[in-house]
Amino acid sequence: MGLFDWLKKSAADSSGPRPVQGSFDPGEAGIQIQYKNFRGQAVTFTGDRRAAYTRKEHLVIRVVPTGRRISLKRSSIQNLGEVESQITPSSQPSPDERRVLNYHLRRGSSSELFQKIRQKYPDYTE
């Protein structure tokens, strides 16, 4: 089997979407987002509003079932008013604060600055 045969086979094997797996559950902090994708299809996402934030023209949120962060275009969110009312405006640390948080969270260590920032963002996860 040559290189081109392998490419044809891998292209044929990847037909359709991959199955989605995970056990992420936002619990009571869950929020439903009605979204119209680029194909014009209506899609509903369930995400965690505690870890959601806006960045320019997008909403970044962790979604069920994988817990991965996705970015949704704000102009394509059908229930944008409802979603924005449930998201706190400054729920994300600055890049410098994020660097300190990630450093200590990964190592299990602590510092005075880390404790101060952690009080500001108690729900922050990497």
Residue count (the chain): 126
- DSSP letter (8 states) at residue 14: T
Return the closest-CA partner of residue 52 out of 78, 26, 79, 18.
26
Integer Cα distance of 68 and 81 in angstroms: 23
Q: So where are the chain's domains?
A: 21-86, 90-121
Q: Which of 3-7, 9-13, 117-121 has the lowest mean pLDDT?
A: 9-13
Residues with Cβ within 8 Å of 47's Cβ and at least 6 positions away in sequence, in order, are 26, 30, 31, 33, 61, 62, 63, 64
Taking only the tens place, the pLDDT of each residue in 12-68 is 555 566 677 888 888 888 999 999 999 999 999 999 988 788 888 999 999 999 888
Taking only the tens place, the pLDDT of each residue in 66-109 is 888 899 999 999 999 999 898 876 667 888 998 999 999 999 99
- 35 and 72 in contact (C-beta within 8 Å)? yes
Fold classification of 21-86 (topology level): SH3 type barrels. (2.30.30)
